[in-house]
C-alpha cells in the first residue's frame, strides 16, 4: 500500500489530512484487565497500574502511539509527498478535559483516546455511557 501511495500514477490533486490523537491507544489500554480492575464493593473500574507498576499505562501508551503515528500518518504522507501531492496536512489531537472522580481517573485512562475527536467534528458525544463522563455539558464559566 505504501508503494502505491508513493506512485505518481495513482496520485490525485486533492488535499489530504491524516492524524492521530495524543492518547490514541489509551481507550484499549484503559479497558485492559491488566491496567484496570473492578472494585467488588462498588462495581466501578479502578486504575491499578499505579499499584502494580507506576506509570506503566502512560509509558506503554506513548510507545504504542509512536508506532501508530508512524503507520497512520508519517509513512503514508511521506509516500504521498513522493508521488507529488502538494497539500498534505498532519494533526495531533490533544484533549484530556474529562472530569475525574473518586473511582476512575478518566483523563488518564481515556484522555485524547482513539476517535474521541469525532464527537467534536460531528457535534455529538460518543462511547455510550462513558461519553457522558468524557463530554459533559460545559458550565457557563467554562464557555
Mean pLDDT, each 10-residue run in order, the chain (143 residues): 95 93 77 60 48 67 87 96 96 77 70 77 68 60 45
pLDDT of 140 reads 41
d(CA 39, CA 88): 47
pLDDT of 138 reads 58
Q: Where are the domains of the chain?
A: 2-7+15-134
pLDDT of 127 reads 63
Q: Which whole-number Å values give the CA distances from 48 to 21, 31, 75, 105, in the listed order?
A: 24, 12, 35, 11
Give the distance from CA 10 to its chain's centroid.
30
Please tell me whether residue 93 adopts helix, strand or coil conformation. strand
pLDDT of 143 reads 41
Q: Which whole-number Å values give the CA distances from 104 to 12, 17, 117, 135, in the listed order?
A: 46, 34, 21, 15
Burial bucket for residue 37 (CB in 10 Å: 0-12, 13-18, 19+): middle
Amino acid at each position: 500500500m505504501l508503494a502505491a501511495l508513493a506512485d505518481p500514477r495513482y496520485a490525485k490533486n486533492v488535499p489530504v489530512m491524516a492524524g492521530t490523537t495524543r492518547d490514541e491507544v489509551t481507550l484499549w489500554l484503559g479497558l485492559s484487565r491488566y491496567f484496570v480492575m473492578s472494585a467488588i464493593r462498588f462495581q466501578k473500574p479502578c486504575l491499578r497500574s499505579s499499584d502494580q507498576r507506576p506509570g506503566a499505562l502512560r509509558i506503554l501508551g506513548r510507545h504504542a502511539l509512536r508506532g501508530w503515528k508512524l503507520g497512520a500518518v508519517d509513512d503514508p504522507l511521506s509516500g504521498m509527498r513522493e508521488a507529488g501531492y502538494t497539500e498534505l496536512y498532519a494533526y495531533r489531537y490533544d484533549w484530556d478535559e474529562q472530569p475525574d472522580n473518586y473511582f476512575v481517573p478518566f483523563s488518564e485512562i481515556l484522555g485524547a483516546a482513539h476517535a474521541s475527536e469525532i464527537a467534536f467534528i460531528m457535534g455529538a458525544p460518543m462511547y455510550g455511557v462513558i461519553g457522558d463522563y468524557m463530554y459533559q455539558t460545559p458550565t457557563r464559566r467554562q464557555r
